[in-house]
Structure 1
Amino acid sequence: MSLIDPTSETVATLDALSDAAGAQPDSFAAMDALWRAVYALPHWSFIARGPDDAPSPFIGQLPNGPMVFAFTTRQRAHDGALANGLDEEAASRVLSVPLPGAVAWLAEFAQQGVTGVVFDLPGQGYMAPLRNLIPMQTHIASTPPA
């Protein structure tokens, strides 16, 4: 199944929402708008590691602990792999997981000691604890935008 990345306009909107949330870290409305847009994506992309028949996402060590690196587009996943020192062959292995299933799949990595997910490093870098992913999904599905 071929997954289509979000449009450049959608990505620009996400980046603007990320910038707004970063500029207003105490604003629930800014964070809510950002995460609603992230959860509205058709899929989340990851740098694929491990065997092709059972890939897992790239996990990097950040100050907050081990984090899954997620991306809004496959190109950003490729670029993120190169930025993290992987070679072109490794960077070309991108795993895209459709939503809403990506949320539960990603949340399972908490059992392996992964603390969170960070999106679009090195460019953006907004993050969430893995334990918050399913509650965030429930909140978004059950409440109107702030």
Structure 2
Amino acid sequence: MSLIDPTPETVATLDALSDAARARPGDFAAMDALWRAVYALPHWSFIARGSEDAPSPFIGQLANGPMVLAFTTRQRAHGGALAAGLDEEAASRVLSVPLPGAVEWLAAFAQQGVAGVVFDMPEQGYMAPLQNLLPMQAHIASTPPA
């Protein structure tokens, strides 16, 4: 199945929402708008590690602990892999997981000691603890935007 990345306009909107949330730390409305847009994406992309038949996402060691690197587009995943020091062959292995299934799949990595997910490193870098992913999904589904 071929997944289509979000349009450049959608990515620009996500970046603007990320910038707004970073500029107003603690502002629930800004964070809510950002995460609603992230959860509205058709899929989340990851740097694929492991075997082709059982891939897993690349996990980076960041200040907050082990974090899955996730991306809004496959192109950003490729760039993120190169920025993380992977070679071109490894960077070309991108795994895109459709939503809403990506949320449960990613949340399960908390059982392996993964602390959270960080999106669009190194450009943006907004993050969430993995244990928050399912509650955020439920919140977005059950409440109107702030």
Q: TM-score, normalised by structure 2?
A: 1.00
Unpaired stretches in structure 2, ≥5 consecutive residues: none
Name the residue aligned to 1:143: 143
- Kindly state the Cα deviation for residue 22 of structure 1 after the two structures are TM-superposed: 0.2
- Kindly state the Cα deviation for residue 143 of structure 1 after the two structures are TM-superposed: 0.1
Aligned-partner Cα distance in 2 for 1:137–1:47? 23
Partner SS for 2:36: helix
- Kindly state the Cα deviation for residue 11 of structure 1 after the two structures are TM-superposed: 0.1
Partner SS for 1:66: strand
Runs of 4+ residues over 2 Å off in structure 1: none
Aligned-partner Cα distance in 2 for 1:33–1:73? 19
1:115 aligns with 2:115: yes
- Kindly state the Cα deviation for residue 91 of structure 1 after the two structures are TM-superposed: 0.3
Aligned-partner Cα distance in 2 for 1:25–1:53? 40
Aligned-partner Cα distance in 2 for 1:22–1:132? 19
Aligned residues: 146
Name the residue aligned to 1:55: 55
Aligned AA (1:39): Y
Name the residue aligned to 1:97: 97
CA offsets 1:47-96 (integer angstroms, 9 cap, x no match): 00000000000000000000000000000000000000000000000000
For the aligned residue pairs, the C-alpha RMSD in angstroms reads 0.2
Unpaired stretches in structure 1, ≥5 consecutive residues: none
Partner SS for 1:144: coil
CA offsets 1:2-31 (integer angstroms, 9 cap, x no match): 000000000000000000000001100000
Aligned-partner Cα distance in 1 for 2:69–2:103? 14
Partner SS for 2:127: strand
Name the residue aligned to 1:130: 130
Aligned AA (1:5): D
Aligned AA (1:40): A
Aligned-partner Cα distance in 1 for 2:50–2:25? 35
Aligned AA (1:128): A
Aligned-partner Cα distance in 2 for 1:121–1:63? 13
Identity over aligned residues, as a percent?
87
